[in-house]
Amino acid sequence: MLHTTKIPWTRPDLDLPDPEEPVRSRYAPGEITQLCDAALASATAVLGAITATAPEDRTVDNTLLRFEQAMGDISDALLPLSMMGYVCPDPSISAEGSACEEKTAIFMVDVYTRRDLYNAIHGVTLRTPEETRLYTKTIRKFEKNGLNLPDDRLVEIRDMMAKLSRLETRFSTNLNNDTTTLEFTPWELSGVPEGVLAGFKKTDHGTYLVTTKTPDYLPVMQNAVSSGTRKRMQYAFVNRQADENTRLLEKAIVLRDQIARELGFEKWAGYRIDGRMAGKPEHVLAFLAALREPLKEKTKVEMAHLLAVKKRLDPTATGVDSWDILFLKEKLRIEKYALDDETIRQYFPLDATLQGIFDQFSGLLGIRFSEVKDVNVWADGVKLYRIENAIAGNTIAYLYADLFARPGKYGHMMMYQLKAGRAGSGGSYSIPVSSLIGNVRAPEGNKPSLLSHDDLEGLFHELGHALHLSLTRAPYATLSGYNVEWDFVETPSQALEEWVWQPQVLDAISGLYTDPRQKLPADLRTRMIEARDMDAGMSYSRMLMLSSEDMVFHTAHGPVDVTGISDAMYEEQMGIPPIEGGHEPATIDHFMGGYDAGYYSYLWSKVYALNVYARFERDGLTNTTTGQDYRRWILEPGNMQDGDVLLRGFLGKEPGMDVFYERLHITVPEK
């Protein structure tokens, strides 16, 4: 039965959540809209009470800490509603979730551009280092939203930021709701494994319907013999929501530039990078520039290998096309390393593998995962796990796993925060709740969901984010979990990716789906690991390309041609032209989902992640002392200290670039 009680404002996060439903997951039509509006109204009332406090009566408790409580409450109330826009199978309920997300974004713009709130909080007497940290970060956020400006200009900033939030939300909603589907004959899908074909919908006249979701897209691009099929597939993939999202992105870039200049920054990149570990755009641009030529040369060598494969298939071939790359890489993997993705999948059934992944980090971090049975969820196949402290046995977090592709669902893999960790009265601490959202193959008949090694790497990555949120002990919601500097946020996730390439880990988490006692064969495992870097140049060149075009977008003044810039950078870095008529920036959710002038953080954080992993590699992947240090220094503090302080604490030294260049297999000339 659906629960329709209005959301209370009595610190709901500090009450133990219902073990049957840590967050609401089922809603009647119209209910999300009602709950969203009620929550926003309640928050507005709390903020009004803060500003109504007479100046002489203001204390840190009734201003700063009450504001922080309100921000945590509104986040906990609205994030579960907004997530429905990404995952709910009912299109009408999903639309309400997306609308709530847009309302929330506009509300937050209004909050952090309110002078009365700023004045109420500004100048209060602080009592502890923790309160000083919270005050500094809170005031900085207000001031970066224009509170240093006169009222008339502040109104303009508020209007522009609200407009920007609407553009960003609509961009993401368009991608979430995209249902692009292509129809192919059996001949056109020749080469695609039977197990994959079995998962496609079939028409009455014997053709297959193939979506652009990852579980459909990748196997076709990797295996379809027909170049025409792969070209059609790639064209559709890079043109999802092309017209509308290109327009939204280009409008957002112009608007961001205007906002930055109003706020006293020369460019949007300067505004966004201010306060991050990189410090300023010049440092980012120098970092990216140092990688460009070495990666370009590495990519050129790898492209030559792919062309050699193509020539063996077609002696008349003179070059590699963009829609050939995944196909030829798969051929090279098979040819050089005798690897077959479908064979590898047999050893990684989802449920057993996921439990194996959990087991890897349970002993290391002193925690325990257990599935919560008979739980209310938003879609079939979603599971809930309880995370407990291994010794004390107390529940410290909940983690949903929503991993199967379905129409209207977010198209990639991500971790979504539902409730934040924060301190309560009497030494209590709230229970964070998060969700792993993915798009792996669903079970087929009696065959369970089987994971590729790429799926595994994605799961390890997103679990890194989830552990950051789940194990936090930061006292404030706005500074807990992964609410850290943006170019530090990918550190835990990218560190965990390294585990999936270690023999002992692959042995531990694998098991043939028909006989779990049969582990991934040693020779197959060895060949998988050896093949890891066969396309390192192309993989990192792509990250560099997206990081670079993001910086070009956000260091420009005036209108930009995002498609033209993207196409030029693709050809520059990859050495071949992109597919003609594509609009890839329209499909990159990061550019409108918080990674604007921040895509570089994947490469930047990789430096930190590899330094973190290097200590585990030195001490041992199961070394519990190192695991506890990692939990204490990297996962628990949130943003209560700067990232460089946390890294030095864990590493015992400054992070170096050597492990990063070694991982990329490049040599960067000394300056």
Which pLDDT does position 669 carry in this prediction?
73
Is residue 392 one of the residues assigned to a domain?
yes
- Separation CA 182–CA 233 (nearest Å): 8
Does 667 score more than 90 pLDDT?
Answer: no
Q: Which residue bears the tokens 């994971």?
A: 451
CATH number of the domain within which 61 lies: 1.20.1050.40
* Residue 453 and residue 363 in one domain: yes
- Cβ neighbours, 10 Å, residue 552: 18
* Residue 609 and residue 522 in one domain: yes
* Residue 435 and residue 382 in one domain: yes
CB 317 within 8 A of CB 311: yes
Is residue 278 one of the residues assigned to a domain?
no
pLDDT in tens, 510-564: 999 999 999 999 999 999 999 999 999 999 999 999 999 999 999 999 899 999 9
Q: What DSSP element (H or E) covers 210?
A: strand 208-211
Which pLDDT does position 20 carry in this prediction?
58
Is residue 250 one of the residues assigned to a domain?
no
* Residue 396 and residue 493 in one domain: yes
CB 536 within 8 A of CB 664: yes
Does 1 score more than 50 pLDDT?
Answer: no
Region of poorest pLDDT, from 71-80, 408-417, 449-458? 408-417
Which residue type sits at 506?
L
Computed over every residue of the chain, the mean pLDDT equals 93
Cα end-to-end distance, the chain, whole Å: 66
Which pLDDT does position 613 carry in this prediction?
97
Region of poorest pLDDT, from 4-13, 143-152, 435-444? 4-13
Which pLDDT does position 406 carry in this prediction?
87
* Residue 222 and residue 359 in one domain: no
Is residue 369 one of the residues assigned to a domain?
yes
Q: Quick one: tokens of 426?
A: 């009497």
Sequence-separated (6 or more) residues with CB below 8 Å from residue 370? 385, 386, 388
Residue 322 CA, distance from chain mean position:
25
* Residue 361 and residue 462 in one domain: yes
* Residue 77 and residue 194 in one domain: no
* Residue 630 and residue 504 in one domain: yes
Is residue 542 one of the residues assigned to a domain?
no
Is residue 499 one of the residues assigned to a domain?
yes
DSSP secondary structure letters along 570-613: HHHHHSSPPPTT--GGGG-GGGGTT-TTTTTHHHHHHHHHHHHH
pLDDT in tens, 165-178: 999 999 999 998 89
Mean pLDDT value of segment 654-660 = 95
Mean pLDDT value of segment 464-485 = 97
Global confidence as pTM: 0.92
Sequence-separated (6 or more) residues with CB below 8 Å from residue 441? 199, 215, 404, 405, 449, 450
Range of the domain at 70: 12-148
* Residue 119 and residue 198 in one domain: no
Q: Which candidate, 196, 422, 224, 419, places its Cα nearest to that of 313?
A: 224
Q: Which of these three, 237, 253, 281, is where a domain ends?
A: 237
Sequence-separated (6 or more) residues with CB below 8 Å from residue 210? 181, 182, 183, 184, 189, 200, 216, 217, 220, 233
* Residue 514 and residue 637 in one domain: yes
Q: Which candidate, 207, 546, 511, 188, places its Cα nearest to that of 359?
A: 511
Mean pLDDT value of segment 491-495 = 97
Which pLDDT does position 671 carry in this prediction?
60
* Residue 191 and residue 133 in one domain: no
| Pairing, β 181-184 against β 208-211 | antiparallel
Percent of the chain with pLDDT over 90: 90
Region of poorest pLDDT, from 5-19, 254-268, 363-377, 583-597? 5-19
Mean pLDDT value of segment 385-392 = 95
Which pLDDT does position 181 carry in this prediction?
95
- Separation CA 23–CA 419 (nearest Å): 8
Is residue 299 one of the residues assigned to a domain?
no
pLDDT in tens, 2-39: 222 222 222 333 334 445 589 999 999 999 999 999 99
The alpha carbon dihedral of 323, 326, 331, 336 has a sign of positive
Is residue 297 one of the residues assigned to a domain?
no
Q: Quick one: tokens of 89?
A: 């199978």
CATH number of the domain within which 431 lies: 1.10.1370.40
Mean pLDDT value of segment 614-619 = 97
pLDDT in tens, 256-271: 999 999 999 999 999 9
Q: Which of these three, 237, 254, 278, is where a domain ends?
A: 237
Bigger pLDDT: 487 vs 18: 487
Number of domains in the chain: 3
- Separation CA 525–CA 621 (nearest Å): 18
* Residue 81 and residue 226 in one domain: no
